[in-house]
């Protein structure tokens, strides 16, 4: 994360792509933003924005440059946009800040994420799953689940209970726009033989391996907090590396018969068989 910070600091005028910064960090794009936020307490864009505004504040105090020039240096296309952003950050407008005897400090919140506990380390066997892809806002995945469940019930023995439910989550909402977010709703079972090739159903596996597992209790719209505590809070305190593959969600109960505050969801991140830090050719 220090390499990423230094990379951003080296050229504040450039907006670096998430792919470039993930490569600098030697992390997968999928996990990078959560790790950065967990370690620094800021998003990458928020970190760069803060540094640009703090540099602008120093320029205001240290000279007579026109505010519009300071605004352009900070990446704002107009005096008005810069004034709004600066006022949110420092509590006063740029022209007031410049003449203050004791100018205020910035108000940015930069608290690193605390690791969540407990985290279970579990060895999981490979699971065959039938799945259906959802593309769009996560708030709309229930419709995909309803379609997949109806498809499975039609092909299952009468009265059979639905098999265990999993979600495969390959995207990070901080990177991918809501309309393009991918999510695979999955039931852990062998596909019915007559259903092979039945679109839009696919058959895949959740890989075997060692997983770090966090238990989320509560509504699904707060899952991001547990993701952040596991990926951005806990993993950086260990020597474990995260596999560059979708995060697995296992649903221990159903929203159809469980109040939102009582929902339980396990977040699984597979651990790669190598150390978090690589310090030499023999490690």
Of 104-108, 183-187, 222-226, the one with minimum mean pLDDT is 104-108
3 state SS of 217: strand
Percent of the chain with pLDDT over 70: 94
Place of tokens 């600098």: 24
Place of tokens 């098999």: 163
What is the average per-residue pLDDT within 130-139? 95
> 2-99, what's its fold?
Arc Repressor Mutant, subunit A (1.10.10)
Is 2-99's fold the same as 120-275's? no
Backbone angles phi, psi at 181, to 5 degrees: -65, 135
> What tokens appear for 11 in the block?
């050229």
Cα separation, 136 vs 180, whole angstroms: 5
**Position 190 pLDDT exceeds 90:** no
pLDDT single digits (tens) 22-51: 999 988 888 999 999 999 999 898 999 999
pLDDT single digits (tens) 215-258: 999 999 999 999 999 999 999 999 999 998 999 999 999 998 99
Amino acid 240: pLDDT: 93
Cα separation, 124 vs 250, whole angstroms: 12
Closest CA to 75 of 9, 20, 12: 12
Q: Any idea where the domains of the chain sit in the sequence?
A: 2-99, 120-275
Confidence of residue 196 (pLDDT cuts 50, 70, 90): low
| Cα three-residue angle 108-228-11, rounded to 5 degrees | 50
Amino acid 275: pLDDT: 44
Instruction: Give the chain's length.
Output: 283
pTM of the full structure: 0.81
Closest CA to 147 of 161, 162, 136, 132: 132
Residue 159 CB coordination number (10 Å): 5
Closest CA to 179 of 138, 133, 131, 215: 138
Amino acid 195: pLDDT: 61
What is the rounded average pLDDT for all residues in the chain?
Answer: 89
Cα separation, 236 vs 216, whole angstroms: 19
Architecture of domain 120-275: Alpha-Beta Barrel (3.20)
């Amino acid at each position: 994360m220090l390499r990423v910070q230094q990379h951003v600091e080296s050229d504040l005028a450039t907006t670096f792509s998430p792919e470039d910064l993930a490569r600098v960090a030697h992390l997968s794009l999928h996990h990078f933003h959560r790790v950065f936020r967990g370690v620094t307490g800021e998003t990458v864009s928020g970190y760069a924005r803060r540094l640009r505004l703090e540099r602008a504040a120093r320029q205001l105090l240290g000279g007579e440059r026109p505010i519009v020039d300071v605004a352009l240096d900070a990446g704002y296309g107009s005096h008005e946009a810069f004034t709004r952003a600066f006022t949110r950050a420092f509590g006063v407008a740029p022209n007031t800040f410049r003449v203050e005897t004791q100018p205020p400090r910035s108000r940015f919140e930069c608290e690193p994420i605390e690791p969540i506990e407990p985290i279970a380390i579990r060895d999981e066997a490979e699971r065959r799953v039938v799945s259906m892809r959802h593309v769009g806002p996560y708030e709309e995945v229930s419709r995909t689940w309803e379609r997949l469940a109806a498809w499975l019930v039609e092909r299952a023995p009468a009265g059979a209970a639905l098999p265990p439910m999993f979600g495969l989550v390959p995207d990070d909402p901080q990177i991918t726009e809501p309309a393009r977010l991918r999510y695979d709703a999955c039931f852990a079972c062998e596909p019915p033989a007559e259903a092979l090739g039945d679109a839009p159903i696919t058959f895949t596996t959740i890989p075997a391996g060692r997983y770090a597992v966090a238990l989320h209790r509560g509504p699904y719209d707060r899952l991001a907090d547990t993701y952040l505590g596991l990926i951005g809070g806990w993993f950086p305190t260990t020597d474990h590396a995260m596999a560059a593959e979708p995060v697995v969600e296992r649903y221990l109960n159903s929203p159809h018969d469980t109040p939102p505050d009582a929902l339980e969801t396990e977040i699984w991140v597979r651990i790669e068989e190598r150390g978090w830090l690589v310090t030499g050719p023999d490690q």
